[in-house]
Amino acid sequence: MNLAKTLMASTALTVAAGALAAQDMESPVAGEPMIDSMTLVSWGGAYQNSQQKAYVEPYIEMNPEVSATWDESSNEAVAKLRAMAEAGNITWDLVDVVASDAIRLCDEGLAMEVDHDDILKPAPDGTDASDDFGDLIVSDCFIPQIVYSTTFGYRTDMVPEGVDAPDSVCDVWDTETYPGKRSLERRPINNMEWALYCDGVAKDEIYDVLATEEGQDRALDKLDEIKDDVIWWSAGADTPQLLADGEVFMGSTYNGRLFSVIEEQDQPVGMLWDMQVFDLDGWIIPEDLEEAELNRVLDFLWFATDTQRLADQSAYISYGPARESSAPLVSTHAELGIEMAPHMPTDPDNAENTLLYNYEFWADYRDDIDAKFQAWLAQ
């Protein structure tokens, strides 16, 4: 749980730090030969747009000879990188993946191991990059950008009369008080943890329990209680659509999607922060890039992951910057003008009861539990 503490501390600094002058440090590869085009891989949608606005456009403004092409393939990045490596034809320069995929790519030797202090800019106060990102560097290949969370949204107009709005993740199981369908992601991760938590398992014992056969059965039994009321989703856009339709009463999705539904699309939706599950998203560099290609990527990364750029990104999407030093610089939404800090999953008020994606546990148990979960789904 070190990571959670770091996250809290980073937002707690919001008040303490003032504006700091940006340092004009050049990237370590400045002056070396570089190619002029980059293929960046990301998720499309609002998230890719925040990257485009916060650091790709400013970078191209500084280096007008450079052009960037987006490939919206992050979802299948692992499979595609494997195929590319097998065909000996890597066409990507920089790939945005979730931390668990970064760990897999790193283990398979498809992503390049980096020294974070060498290739990333120090914080404005001189702190080394590795200290600034802290525990969020979960793999030697992974360069974190944002912290996001998976959490629940609900239709405010479908809360029965005379009942308080849901405020606990266990309200998902309370179909008597809150009738209506639920939408959950079609995978065991997060659902199993929530099920055990709501079945009375203490938070710090969840993974000990889940490591046992009985614990897994217990979680599935708990999920069984609401199985008939669940619509399973697989794309991040599904739950917002189902909520907008009034098809479900509550459903899990990424906090940025809920922010967009509530603040940008103005739908009658509220959100829970209780037991939100933190996860990380960031860059990896594919292994075996040519030197001129690698130099361009490193030059771009030096800029795109500095303190100011990561803070800028939060003006376009409600995900928390991965650098501790960026937190104080989070300002207002680029179009709506609302204060973004209270919408960050890492804001102290929102982060009272949280869980962190357990990369080690799921790396070890994912295949087994996945098979069980799918068999249970098919029953």
Partner 1 sequence: MSDGIAITGAKTLPFSFTLPVVGAAGALFGLFAGTAQGATLLGVLGGAAICAALAWAALSLAGVERERAVKWGVIALFALAGLLVGRIAGAIVGALFGWFLGWFIYWIGRGRYRMFLPPYLTAGEVLWHYTFRVICGAVFVFLITPILVVMPLSFNAENFFTFTPEMLAFDPEGYSLKHYRDFFTSADWQQALRNSILIAPVATLLAVSFGTLAAIGLSSEHVPFRQAIMAVLISPMIVPLIISAAGMYFFYSRIGLQGTYLGVVLAHAALGIPFVIITVTATLVGFDRSLTRAAANLGANPVTTFRRVQMPLILPGVISGGLFAFITSFDEVVVVIFVGSANQQTLPWQMFTGLREQISPTILAVATILVCISIALLTTVEILRRRSERLRGMSPG
The contact set with partner 1 (CB under 8 A) reads 39, 43-46, 69-72, 75, 83-84, 86-89, 91, 235-238, 240-241, 244-245, 265
Q: Give the shortest CB-296-to-partner 1 separation in angstroms.
A: 16
Smaller CB distance to partner 1: residue 15 or 87? 87
- Alpha-carbon gap, residue 113 to 119, rounded angstroms: 11
Smaller CB distance to partner 1: residue 68 or 211? 68
Q: Give the shortest CB-139-to-partner 1 separation in angstroms.
A: 24
Smaller CB distance to partner 1: residue 181 or 203? 181
Smaller CB distance to partner 1: residue 85 or 226? 85
Smaller CB distance to partner 1: residue 106 or 261? 261
Q: Give the shortest CB-238-to-partner 1 separation in angstroms.
A: 7
Q: Give the shortest CB-75-to-partner 1 separation in angstroms.
A: 7
| Closest alpha carbon to 145 in 12, 76, 78, 55 | 55
Q: Give the shortest CB-237-to-partner 1 separation in angstroms.
A: 4
- Alpha-carbon gap, residue 350 to 358, rounded angstroms: 20
Smaller CB distance to partner 1: residue 271 or 275? 271
Q: Give the shortest CB-93-to-partner 1 separation in angstroms.
A: 11
Q: Which residue has the tokens 């700091």?
A: 20
Cβ–Cβ < 8 Å for 146, 322: yes
Q: Give the shortest CB-44-to-partner 1 separation in angstroms.
A: 4
Three-class secondary structure assignment of the chain: CHHHHHHHHHHHHHHHCCCCCCCCCCCCCCCCCCCCEEEEECCCHHHHHHHHHHHHHHHHHHCCCCEEEEECCHHHHHHHHHHHHHHCCCCCCEEEEEHHHHHHHHHCCCECCCCHHHHCCCCCCCCCHHHHHHHHCCCCCCEEEEEEEEEEEEEHHHCCCCCCCCCCHHHHCCCCCCCCCEEEECCCCCHHHHHHHHCCCCHHHHHHHHCCHHHHHHHHHHHHCCHHHEEEECCCCHHHHHHHHCCCCEEEEEHHHHHHHHHHCCCCEEECCCCEEEEEEEEECECCCCHHHHHHHHHHHHHHCCHHHHHHHCCCCCCEECCHHHHHHCCECCCCCCECHHHCCCCCCCCCCEEECCHHHHHHHHHHHHHHHHHHHHC
Q: Give the shortest CB-56-to-partner 1 separation in angstroms.
A: 13
Beta bridge partners of 279: 148
Q: Give the shortest CB-353-to-partner 1 separation in angstroms.
A: 29
Smaller CB distance to partner 1: residue 70 or 302? 70
Smaller CB distance to partner 1: residue 235 or 371? 235
